[in-house]
Amino acid sequence: AALEAVMKMTLGHEFGAGAACLKCKDKCEGFELHFWRKICRNCKCGLAEHDVAMNSEENKKVGKLFEDTKYTGLIAKLKTDGLPSYRGNMITISLPVTYEWAPPVANKYLAVRYIELLPPEKRPVAGTEGAAYRRQQMARQLPEHDQDPSKCHELSPAEVKQMEQFVRKYKDEALGVGDVLLPEEMALVQAGGSGGYARVAVRDHSASTSSCHHCQQPMRLGEPAVYAERAGYDKLWHPACFVCCTCNELLVDMIYFWKKGKLYCGRHYGDSEKPRCGGCDELIFSNEYTQAEGQNWHLKHFCCFDCDCILAGETYVMENEKPVCKPCYMKNYAVKCSACQNAVEPEAQRVSYGEHHWHAEPECFKCSGCSKCLMGQRFMAVQGFLFCSVECKKKTMA
Ligand SMILES: [Zn+2]
Ligand SMILES: [Zn+2]
Ligand SMILES: [Zn+2]
Ligand SMILES: [Zn+2]
Ligand SMILES: [Zn+2]
Ligand SMILES: [Zn+2]
Ligand SMILES: [Zn+2]
Ligand SMILES: [Zn+2]
């Protein structure tokens, strides 16, 4: 069993290995998964930024998400008897356009109309930016490490248990997938019009139900709407309005989490329930963690972004919102003093003028002509040289 576990981990780390980074191009030697951060060791971008064919992985992930949950949507429930299964629906229409995903409705026209109602740059048309957008949102909104303890790094048995309870809870209480229907059809369903739909409760279909729950604007006659079983079939959304309340992005493949009257994507539902580690991007299930720089961190993950040394009790500097240790800061980020040419320590006082910097010390911040200390004095700066007076400038620059 131990050997099997090791094999699994290696395989996990090999997925996507070597794929080129679409953002960094030649600067990345190819995707190589960091030991515990969910990013590339070479360029520090995520897997989604690399050129990896993800379709089969995505479908596996989404299938796993909907394993043993009852709420897979009205249509799936009406159509399938056994366990809910999920497949990325590829549909090709005359144009020739291939959608990497389309809502699983029997009526092809409705599926196509749903996609046409999305912003053009977000339509999952194969080979376009819309398809790349969907893939990126798939990774961002539904992190595997929010679903599966085996995708997390070194959880203790207690943390695994906590996480399993968390996953159980959202499957029971929040997770669902939207349905695309014409409001007229939904009215029929609710009235029990066709036999197969009898399980859905009959509700009064009043006029108020036909404005979008997000933008409050009316639905257009004959246009499909999105319904969410968790929200109740008295609410409906324009396809482009079925978005996460936190990131405002389209809910990828209409997969939603419903909580207290709001739609969330998986990531932001998780964030609303648990702190998330700024280092490994996993939700934190241990009681002990640290807060720094407005983020939460596993104790062992408050580390230098460049060399991974642990920063607890050490001097660190925030660079691009990531903590780095002092040695890495000095090597990679520190500004150089224009006088002594040494890097300026993060805690040192410095004077900056344009793109030039100096130690705020008499040995460095001084006149290049007469060496007079210029701290608190009038000075002029010319190409990184400091002068106390026009005379010293003339004398030196001549
Ligand atoms: Zn990159
Ligand atoms: Zn890379
Ligand atoms: Zn709307
Ligand atoms: Zn979100
Ligand atoms: Zn962490
Ligand atoms: Zn470092
Ligand atoms: Zn200096
Ligand atoms: Zn001088």
**216-241: pLDDT as tens digits:** 999 988 899 999 999 999 999 999 99
Q: What is the pLDDT of residues 185-226, one digit of tens each?
A: 888 877 765 444 444 444 444 444 589 999 999 998 889 999
State the DSSP code for 134: H
* Rounded percentage of the chain residues whose pLDDT exceeds 70: 84
Surrounding ion ligand 2 within 5 Å at CB are 21, 28, 40, 42-43
pLDDT value at 80 more than 80: no
State the ligand closest to the CA atom of 35: 5
Statement: the pTM of the whole predicted model exceeds 0.75: no
Q: Which CATH class is domain 289-332?
A: mainly beta
The alpha carbon of 273 and the centre of ligand 3 are apart by a number of angstroms equal to 27
Q: Kindly calculate the radius of gyration of the chain based on its CA atoms and give it in whole angstroms.
A: 28
- Closest to 360 (Cα-Cα) out of 322, 386, 331, 395: 386
State the ligand closest to the CA atom of 36: 5
- The b/e string for 329-347 (b: 16+ C-beta within 10 A; e otherwise) is bbeeebeebbbeeebbebe
The alpha carbon of 281 and the centre of ligand 5 are apart by a number of angstroms equal to 6
The alpha carbon of 22 and the centre of ligand 2 are apart by a number of angstroms equal to 9
State the ligand closest to the CA atom of 33: 2
pLDDT value at 5 more than 50: no
- The mean pLDDT value for 294-299 works out to 92
Q: Please, what sign has the CA dihedral across residues 93, 97, 98, 100? A: negative
Domain ranges for the chain, please list them: 1-52, 54-277, 289-332, 350-397
Q: What is the pLDDT of residues 318-373, one digit of tens each?
A: 998 889 999 999 999 999 999 999 999 988 999 998 899 999 999 999 999 999 99
Residue 320: what pLDDT?
A: 87
Cα distance between residue 268 and residue 257, in whole Å: 9
- The mean pLDDT value for 176-184 works out to 91
Domain 350-397 of CATH type 1.20.140.10: no
State the ligand closest to the CA atom of 140: 4
Q: What is the pLDDT of residues 19-37, one digit of tens each?
A: 899 899 999 999 888 888 8
User: E strands along 182-230, which residues?
Assistant: 225-227
The two domains 289-332 and 350-397 share their CATH topology (first three levels equal)? yes
pLDDT value at 72 more than 70: no
The alpha carbon of 241 and the centre of ligand 3 are apart by a number of angstroms equal to 5
